[in-house]
Structure 1
Amino acid sequence: MTRARRVLAALTAGIGAMAAAPPAMAAAEAPHIDGSVLGLLWAVPFAGILLSIAIMPLVAPAFWHHHFGKVSAAWAVAFVVPATLVFGADVAAYELLHTLLLEYVPFIVLLWALFTVVGGIRLVGDLRSSAATNTAMLAVGTVLASWMGTTGAAMLMIRPLIRANEWRKHQAHVMVFLIFLVANVGGALTPIGDPPLFLGFLKGVPFFWPTTALFLPMLLVAGILLAVFFLLDSYLFSREPGRPPNDQSGERLGVEGGVNILLLGAIVGAVLLRGIWHSGVELTVYHVPVPLESIASNLLLVAIGLLSLRLTREDTRLGNAFSWGPILEVAKLFAGIFVTIVPMIAILRAGRDGAMAGLVALVTTPDGRPIDAWYFWLAGGLSSFLDNAPTYLVFFNLAGGDPAQLTGALASTLTAISAGAVFMGANTYIGNAPNFMVKAIAEERGVKMPSFFGYMAWAGIFLVPLFALTTLVFFR
């Protein structure tokens, strides 16, 4: 036996130990992976990409800067190849296409459109840095996040905040609280705000249900975070070695690239198209049905982004220090995350029959009643590391999946799931896509951001106690 064949045989034998049965393949179903037969060994590629994001920028920064896309692709291959050998090429192809066509492509197209359009909006004029100014800007961004998306609001606010504070020694905390408030918590009030709520809208949850159900939890969390930020920023201002530069031009505050504000409204319309228009027409790509409305929405978003590039003056984008680096980094890393997350979501969907049955059993009492506190913490805890949109769907279905019931008798349970998925996306850089984008832009502009684990320490200090308070007030 050749060496190559011996390696292949050993690989096949090792992978065979990962699963005890072939995939479920009913005649009328697509060839999918049955999560009940997956062991936790299938989580290795996902854990690998997370650890790579966390550790490699610290231990091998030059290598990571030049090759993070290859690292992401390698971990994706580490799932696809074993899945092909164990379950067959048809199953692997279906899972890969399903993830890319129905989840990753809409995800990255929306992010690209928001990134492009908001990159053409520039706040001009004198904006003197102070704790009050920074807090006010974060408050405005938090309000905007539910109506222009967490990505759009974060991209709109980050550049003025960086410009206003670039003279300071202590800057990172401003970006950290921008992630907490604008990139996550602020998106809790509409389906436009955050992807989990949009998926709920597509499942039949009324558009304004989150506005009423999550208003008080969001007000509590955002209000306390803004107050804490003001006190922290005031203290750090007192420790700055210098003073704000006295170079105000006298130019009044204003906005350049106003046409992009109209294009933001067009983005909202393109996103809503998916939930409002049900064409009944699908393009099937290897068992994966892609609805016509999804295709139309994606094409509209691309057209809006291209229109923004065409209509925005080049000096406006130059003034924003606009570049494609951050969105390319997000696109490459999240491609790997979306692929390696497939077995994790499959295990969760298996519920009590899966390898995470112990976690799933925590959310209900012996007589079958939901435990809202556990729904909040489990949906939130998993959303901190998994993509919060599919995690939301898992717990939505675990709670019954009936939108009438979940917005009626079980409204507190859906509130817990929604709050967990939206709020706790702030716990890590990968909990929500704008988090990583804020980090990438800030570092590109010279802000020394916390490491992956360093950021988690910030979240542990400022967010976890606040989430415990939220549990006591709303979900006990």
Structure 2
Amino acid sequence: MNGAQLSAWWGVPFAGMLLSIALMPLTCPKLWHHHYGKIAAGWALAFLLPFAVLHGPAEAGHALAHALLAEYLPFIILLVALFTVAGGIFIRGNLHGSPGLNVLLIAIGAVLASFMGTTGASMLMIRPLIRANDNRPYVAHVVVFFIFIVSNAAGSLTPLGDPPLFLGFLQGVDFFWTVSHLLPETLFLCGALLAIFYVIDSYHYRKEGVLPADPTPDTESFGIDGKLNFLLLLAIVGLVLLSGLWKSGVAFQLAGTDINLEDLVRDIGLVVVALLSYHLTPSAPRVANQFSWGPMQEVAKLFIGIFLTMAPVLAMLKAGMNGPFASVAAAVTAPDGRPEPWAYFWFSGMLSSFLDNAPTYLVFFNLAGGDAPTLMTTLATTLAAISAGSVFMGANSYIGNAPNFMVKAIAEERGIRMPSFFGYMLWSGAVLIPLFVLMTFIWFR
């Protein structure tokens, strides 16, 4: 898809998809709850059918095949594997959600995020966090800060933490470059968020007058069931790393889309891992976790619409100065031709808030020159800005990063009344944006 030949009007289906996710749960919740999959399919067709008429069925078919085979299926297979494996691990014990314990659980999730990915850490830690707070009447803020920290900010230290950094790793960025250049920013952001959360949670905890007895009878001693799944988590990490390090040189073509052998091995391996977890884990841990496929189905249905409708938007951005979004390319470049780190931080971040942050990272990586050795040295501040913006600002909306929506869906399935799409953005605007402004003046000027 040549973004230079497209009109900005091709972004309308994507805007419609976002507005549907934002407004329909508020304005017509029953219709949305029962038909959100059909609505997502409708917006996907609103792009594909006119595109087929104007650019030909072959071009539309190629766009569909590329979105499905090269982007959506690998994405959803990884999420299913992590969701299945993490759902088979049950952390038992009578945990009581005091502010101190909540900070500890979120901090543990933050440490895990850069080793097992934001999705894996989120799926592993959200259930014990919700269970620890099941005797409290107001828990939404706990989940919101969990999304800020575990599902986003804490995944910035290694290529395993978040998909944008993994794409950078595939482009030649050293494995340990991010931890050596983003550690101060990550510690500042996560530390500040934990401190703010502790103050807010302490206020609610005192105000609620929490019951001294936990209504759930989980009084057994602390322990972990389903330990086999920790080995399977390591297998997932190994498969993802393998696909990045192994260059087989072998590729298959399906519907005009190249599929590398290493990617095929990774995806088949992830499916096998998910099946092993589901069939080898005793049922007790999943029953105790109240495991269901509902959250995964919601993510799968909505993100197929998101991936398809955002394809022309990403193509137009990728066209740079030759495309309809040339103003974006001009805005991140100084008059002397040098990249502006602060602009890369904010533009990559704001687009990552609503577009998939992995391809957004790649667009700005290429806008900055696309040469990894140069970006890691001479333009290190620019690469750090792109990395930080793509990872940190995925927390600005529910659709900025896949685990955001999954965590929200799990929380709502447990009866927690989560903020609406715009309600969540009020939280991110009030808490995150001031911190990002401060970080801009400290690190990205």
TM tier, shorter chain? over 0.9
Structure 2 residue 442 is matched with structure 1 residue 473: yes
Q: Provide Cα deviations, 1:294-337, integer angstroms capped at 9, x if missing partner.
A: 00000000000000011111011000000000011000000000
Q: Which has the higher contact order (CA 8 A, sep 6+)?
A: 2
Per the TM alignment, residue 191 of structure 1 is displaced from its structure 2 partner at its CA by 0.9
Q: Tell me the amino acid that sits aligned with residue 294 of structure 1.
A: D
- Superposition CA RMSD, Å: 1.0
Distance of aligned partners of 1:244 and 1:429 in 2 relative to their CA distance in 1, 3 Å threshold? farther
CA–CA distance in structure 1, aligned partners of residues 135 and 172 of structure 2: 48
Residue 20 of structure 1 aligns with which residue? none
CA–CA distance in structure 2, aligned partners of residues 209 and 287 of structure 1: 35
Residue 316 of structure 1 aligns with which residue? 285
Residue 388 of structure 1 aligns with which residue? 357
Distance of aligned partners of 1:456 and 1:249 in 2 relative to their CA distance in 1, 3 Å threshold? closer
Residue 125 of structure 1 aligns with which residue? 93
Q: Provide Cα deviations, 1:423-462, integer angstroms capped at 9, x if missing partner.
A: 0000000000000001100000000000000000000000
Residue 418 of structure 1 aligns with which residue? 387
Q: Tell me the amino acid that sits aligned with residue 417 of structure 2.
A: K
Equivalent residue for 2:302, pick from 309, 328, 333:
333
Q: Tell me the amino acid that sits aligned with residue 356 of structure 2.
A: D
The answer to whether the 8 Å contact 1:428/1:455 transfers is yes
The answer to whether the 8 Å contact 2:117/2:160 transfers is yes
Distance of aligned partners of 1:249 and 1:54 in 2 relative to their CA distance in 1, 3 Å threshold? closer
Equivalent residue for 1:160, pick from 128, 152, 156:
128
CA–CA distance in structure 2, aligned partners of residues 70 and 166 of structure 1: 34
CA–CA distance in structure 1, aligned partners of residues 65 and 256 of structure 2: 9
Q: Which protein is bigger by CA-based radius of gyration?
A: 1
Structure 2 residue 176 is matched with structure 1 residue 208: yes
TM-score with structure 2 length normalisation?
Answer: 0.98
CA–CA distance in structure 2, aligned partners of residues 147 and 173 of structure 1: 25
Residue 345 of structure 2 aligns with which residue? 376
Equivalent residue for 1:217, pick from 180, 185, 188:
185
The residue correspondences of 1:395-406 to structure 2 (distance < 5 A) are 395-406=364-375
Distance of aligned partners of 1:255 and 1:364 in 2 relative to their CA distance in 1, 3 Å threshold? same
The answer to whether the 8 Å contact 1:129/1:244 transfers is no
The residue correspondences of 1:34-433 to structure 2 (distance < 5 A) are 34-245=2-213, 251-433=220-402
Aligned length: 444
Q: Provide Cα deviations, 1:274-307, integer angstroms capped at 9, x if missing partner.
A: 1111111111113211001100000000000000
Per the TM alignment, residue 244 of structure 1 is displaced from its structure 2 partner at its CA by 3.7
The answer to whether the 8 Å contact 2:92/2:218 transfers is no
Q: Tell me the amino acid that sits aligned with residue 391 of structure 1.
A: T
Distance of aligned partners of 1:305 and 1:249 in 2 relative to their CA distance in 1, 3 Å threshold? closer
4+ residue segments displaced more than 4 Å: 246-250
Q: Secondary structure at the match of 2:252?
A: strand
CA–CA distance in structure 2, aligned partners of residues 219 and 246 of structure 1: 33
CA–CA distance in structure 1, aligned partners of residues 397 and 218 of structure 2: 39
Q: Secondary structure at the match of 1:290?
A: strand
TM-score with structure 1 length normalisation?
Answer: 0.92
Per the TM alignment, residue 213 of structure 1 is displaced from its structure 2 partner at its CA by 1.2
Structure 2 residue 406 is matched with structure 1 residue 457: no
Distance of aligned partners of 1:268 and 1:76 in 2 relative to their CA distance in 1, 3 Å threshold? same
Distance of aligned partners of 1:36 and 1:133 in 2 relative to their CA distance in 1, 3 Å threshold? same
The answer to whether the 8 Å contact 2:135/2:214 transfers is no
Q: Tell me the amino acid that sits aligned with residue 229 of structure 2.
A: N
Q: Provide Cα deviations, 1:15-47, integer angstroms capped at 9, x if missing partner.
A: xxxxxxxxxxxxxxxxxx211122221111000
CA–CA distance in structure 2, aligned partners of residues 341 and 190 of structure 1: 26
CA–CA distance in structure 2, aligned partners of residues 424 and 132 of structure 1: 26
CA–CA distance in structure 1, aligned partners of residues 292 and 220 of structure 2: 26
Per the TM alignment, residue 249 of structure 1 is displaced from its structure 2 partner at its CA by 6.0
Q: Provide Cα deviations, 1:207-263, integer angstroms capped at 9, x if missing partner.
A: 111111111110010000000001110011011044242567653211110010111
CA–CA distance in structure 2, aligned partners of residues 249 and 210 of structure 1: 41
The answer to whether the 8 Å contact 1:149/1:194 transfers is yes
CA–CA distance in structure 2, aligned partners of residues 171 and 157 of structure 1: 15
Distance of aligned partners of 1:245 and 1:292 in 2 relative to their CA distance in 1, 3 Å threshold? same
CA–CA distance in structure 2, aligned partners of residues 412 and 273 of structure 1: 29
The answer to whether the 8 Å contact 2:320/2:326 transfers is yes
Per the TM alignment, residue 403 of structure 1 is displaced from its structure 2 partner at its CA by 0.7
Q: Provide Cα deviations, 1:341-388, integer angstroms capped at 9, x if missing partner.
A: 011001101101111111210111111111000000000000000100
Distance of aligned partners of 1:162 and 1:366 in 2 relative to their CA distance in 1, 3 Å threshold? same
Structure 2 residue 406 is matched with structure 1 residue 437: yes
The answer to whether the 8 Å contact 1:49/1:337 transfers is yes
The answer to whether the 8 Å contact 1:169/1:241 transfers is no
CA–CA distance in structure 1, aligned partners of residues 256 and 177 of structure 2: 33
Q: Secondary structure at the match of 2:75?
A: helix
Per the TM alignment, residue 89 of structure 1 is displaced from its structure 2 partner at its CA by 1.1
CA–CA distance in structure 1, aligned partners of residues 290 and 378 of structure 2: 50
The answer to whether the 8 Å contact 1:45/1:76 transfers is yes
The answer to whether the 8 Å contact 2:295/2:410 transfers is yes
> Where in structure 1 are there 5+ consecutive unaligned residues?
1-32
